[in-house]
Chain A
């Protein structure tokens, strides 16, 4: 049994988590959910004994108050920090990792157990493969079984599934489930996927450095029920995923909440309001087909990043390009944009066949691009960033000033104009990057993982914004994401798996094919078929 009492972690003056108190029982999986920077990682680090803290942690009767005091417990603890394959050494093979972790933890050889772990993770056949050549899902499964090697009594997993394909995510979960049935173990598990959280024995909801709610999923959902309604138009409320959340009663029937509801209700209770986006309508003339790619292929040495992919983007369409990290999404977008050479295949942009660099020059003004991690200059304020790109897009200074005013108001970041991107939450950076990408009013937008690392509320807002853009400008959008559930907001989705296209369909049609299943589950089916 794990007891955490008044745990506080400070970084200088900043408090990462304040007075966290909770219990976890044997064979329980406790889920930690909340936005980036809400204090989940700090809590997990403190409990793992790698971070100084105030307060007390008691595990199976042994109390500790600092990393030094936690030292005797370390042979029973396992920590898997956040980040894909973070604890792996790229140049070591699967087998070598096993050896390494076994030896540094002084574990005796147990071939039967090791074989079982490898088989559970589906790595039995790949024991000689170097970690750098494993897919994202395989990396996470390897990290997990490496932490299980010494049969820990306390397993601490920090977002082990972020960026991992849905099938691997499910397999990872199965490993955990099997482990906790076979041995005594307490598992702490933070995640950004609410579908996962739903399966946990207990959920801790983090917000701005505090645990604001804890309990079983059903209990928490129940607490949200009074505030959850069917989709409608309303003031002082948040609407997302076919539901609306409001503290005041709405004249529509209640709906069944999901765990996301907790974030919205918490925001409402803190007096936050949904950002209303205002975008001026505009008329544009575009050809009916914006992007037409036939058999696009990209190789890096022996590795095929994209394998003969066909894709069509129609005018005024939001096309979601889904897939796990390393599935080939970013490479594909970079080929479309000309940032990588195309090894094989043909491409038409805005009705023009692309054969050389010259073909792209005149198209530049019609294309908007927002890259991974919202790449903008960190040492320039938001306003300076926008002015800079405006000038490079050859807009007159007057227009630029006008546009910054209009977009910052419309997209809800006007009060942050003179701040530096590094001091702002991800959600704000995300919106201002988008504003920068549409300054020159392109007819097509390429968005590479605009929603990763962004909290639920900001993600909900962002999708609204994209639909607003589509409605007002008839803009076409190609967007990549590793959240399978975001397929819901696309007009059509293409799913990539290890460089190959495995799905190309509309969400409606997919729902008809698999009635009653979530997108997560639908894609798992596709993944299984192509395995």
Chain B
């Protein structure tokens, strides 16, 4: 191992990255992923366009309608139109919710008679429909129970305790998963490009024809993406906690160590990609293909791993994303840290994964034309 040679090669990589402006890509891509997706994926619905048709016009019905006016979830208009007109407006995608309070609503309620409130929800975006349904039910039932006659009805009240994400913020649920996405995609692409670029331009001959050993070459090639993306660990942490206000309850040291191991895994994936591709474009596409979809699926960001079955349960365990994002969600939202044996196990799996990939990669790398 000749340190001088490695240092010179690495220095060249840094100068090259800086002068070819690729360094911007190193930092722009993860930041863009975090910011865009972080702001972009909102499962919560606010300002749903709501029409209330009050056919009763009683104190109670007006009160009920007003309950919708003072909520960030609804943009409510009380309109004197027919249900058909309201439905036509919904068909033109101008309205999301229609609430119809029937005539003699107040009278019936006071008499203790049953009355029926009609609710129409545009469920073309199904999730949005579900969420809006929940909001509407909550508001109506709460408001209505205030007016209930004081008679005995056996009720089961739900005493909910939300763990980890009390405010049920989308940011808390999604941003840690996005970190797992960003820190996999970007280092993998960069590591792959650094090697494939030399293949495509022909400068790879400098390695082939020199006494530089494979190990020296790999250290020189893989250290820059590793080091540069280590900075992204801190940037991601900053974006999550300051910009998206995600709480951080665990140990920063654990977060940091796990992230470094994960970046090493990503770099290892990049190395494998660079071995089977010849052009930069192919390397980029392949690196993206094998990192983005698994990250979305198995980070737990959209679906808990415990809810998976069969094939996808096994696949989730094959990709590194699941192990890292488990530690991520723990350090951000839960905070068990090293007391949990699962975390120790997953940490070691990440370490093994990284070493394994780089070992396989160095076995497959050839110091000759192929």
A pairs with B: yes
Q: A residues engaging B (CB < 8 A)? A: 45, 48-52, 67-68, 71, 74-75, 77-79, 81, 83, 86-92, 96, 99-106, 130
Q: How far is the CB of B17 from chain A (nearest CB, A)?
A: 9
Flag the segment in B6-14, B70-78, B88-96, B232-240 that touches A.
Answer: B6-14
Q: Are A105 and B211 in contact (CB under 8 A)?
A: yes
B201 contacts A by Cβ under 8 Å? yes
Given A83-B202, A92-B16, A96-B12, CB of A49 within 8 Å of CB of B212: no
B167 contacts A by Cβ under 8 Å? no
Q: How far is the CB of B265 from chain A (nearest CB, A)?
A: 28
Q: Are A78 and B209 in contact (CB under 8 A)?
A: yes
User: Chain B binding site: helix, strand, loop or mixed by DSSP?
Assistant: helix
| Closest residue of A by beta carbon distance from B366 | A67
Q: How far is the CB of B7 from chain A (nearest CB, A)?
A: 7
Q: How far is the CB of A112 from chain B (nearest CB, A)?
A: 21
B368 contacts A by Cβ under 8 Å? yes
Q: Are B5 and A106 in contact (CB under 8 A)?
A: yes
Q: Are B369 and A106 in contact (CB under 8 A)?
A: no
B15 contacts A by Cβ under 8 Å? yes
Residues of A within 8 A of B152 (CB): none
B205 contacts A by Cβ under 8 Å? yes
Q: CA of A506 to CA of B123 in the docked complex: distance in angstroms? A: 82
Q: Are B203 and A89 in contact (CB under 8 A)?
A: yes
Q: Are B205 and A79 in contact (CB under 8 A)?
A: yes
Q: CA of A91 to CA of B336 in the docked complex: distance in angstroms? A: 48
Q: Are B211 and A75 in contact (CB under 8 A)?
A: yes
Q: How far is the CB of B210 from chain A (nearest CB, A)?
A: 5
Residues of B within 8 A of A130 (CB): 19
Q: Are A50 and B203 in contact (CB under 8 A)?
A: no
Q: How far is the CB of A105 from chain B (nearest CB, A)?
A: 6
Q: Are B209 and A89 in contact (CB under 8 A)?
A: no
Q: Are A91 and B211 in contact (CB under 8 A)?
A: no
| Closest residue of A by beta carbon distance from B213 | A71
Q: Are B368 and A87 in contact (CB under 8 A)?
A: no
Q: Are B8 and A104 in contact (CB under 8 A)?
A: yes
Q: CA of A81 to CA of B369 in the docked complex: distance in angstroms? A: 12
Residues of B within 8 A of A45 (CB): 369
Top 10 closest pairs, chain A to chain B, by CB: A103-B8, A91-B19, A86-B202, A50-B208, A79-B209, A67-B368, A74-B211, A75-B211, A104-B5, A51-B369
Instruction: Out of B9, B11, B19, B203, name the residue touching A86 (CB < 8 Å).
Output: B203
Q: CA of A49 to CA of B205 in the docked complex: distance in angstroms? A: 11
| Closest residue of A by beta carbon distance from B8 | A103
Instruction: Out of A86, A88, A104, name the residue touching B210 (CB < 8 Å).
Output: A104
Residues of B within 8 A of A68 (CB): 367
Q: Are B368 and A105 in contact (CB under 8 A)?
A: no
Q: Are A51 and B211 in contact (CB under 8 A)?
A: no
Q: Are A106 and B4 in contact (CB under 8 A)?
A: yes
Q: Are A103 and B205 in contact (CB under 8 A)?
A: no
Q: B residues engaging A (CB < 8 A)? A: 2, 4-5, 7-9, 11-12, 15-16, 19-20, 201-203, 205-206, 208-212, 367-369
Q: Are A104 and B16 in contact (CB under 8 A)?
A: no
Q: Are B205 and A104 in contact (CB under 8 A)?
A: no
Most buried by A among B2, B4, B12: B12
Residues of A within 8 A of B203 (CB): 86-89
Q: Are B5 and A91 in contact (CB under 8 A)?
A: no
Most buried by A among B7, B20, B203: B203
Q: Are B5 and A50 in contact (CB under 8 A)?
A: no
Residues of B within 8 A of A75 (CB): 211
Q: CA of A99 to CA of B9 in the docked complex: distance in angstroms? A: 10
| Closest residue of B by beta carbon distance from A50 | B208
Q: Are A50 and B9 in contact (CB under 8 A)?
A: no
Q: Are A81 and B4 in contact (CB under 8 A)?
A: no
Residues of A within 8 A of B201 (CB): 86
Residues of A within 8 A of B11 (CB): 100
Q: Are A50 and B368 in contact (CB under 8 A)?
A: yes
Q: List 15 A-B contacts (CB under 8 A).
A: A50-B205, A51-B369, A68-B367, A71-B211, A74-B210, A74-B211, A79-B208, A86-B203, A89-B203, A91-B19, A99-B8, A102-B8, A103-B5, A105-B5, A106-B211
Residues of B within 8 A of A104 (CB): 5, 8-9, 206, 210, 212
Q: Are A105 and B19 in contact (CB under 8 A)?
A: no
Residues of B within 8 A of A106 (CB): 2, 4-5, 211
Q: CA of A74 to CA of B9 in the docked complex: distance in angstroms? A: 17
Given A50-B369, A52-B368, A81-B202, CB of A100 within 8 Å of CB of B12: yes
Q: How far is the CB of A90 from chain B (nearest CB, A)?
A: 8
| Closest residue of A by beta carbon distance from B18 | A91
Q: How far is the CB of B212 from chain A (nearest CB, A)?
A: 5
| Closest residue of A by beta carbon distance from B201 | A86
Residues of B within 8 A of A49 (CB): 208-209, 368
Q: CA of A264 to CA of B208 in the docked complex: distance in angstroms? A: 37
Given A48-B209, A100-B9, CB of A91 within 8 Å of CB of B20: yes
| Closest residue of A by beta carbon distance from B198 | A89
Q: How far is the CB of A258 from chain B (nearest CB, A)?
A: 32
Given A89-B12, A96-B15, A130-B19, CB of A74 within 8 Å of CB of B368: no
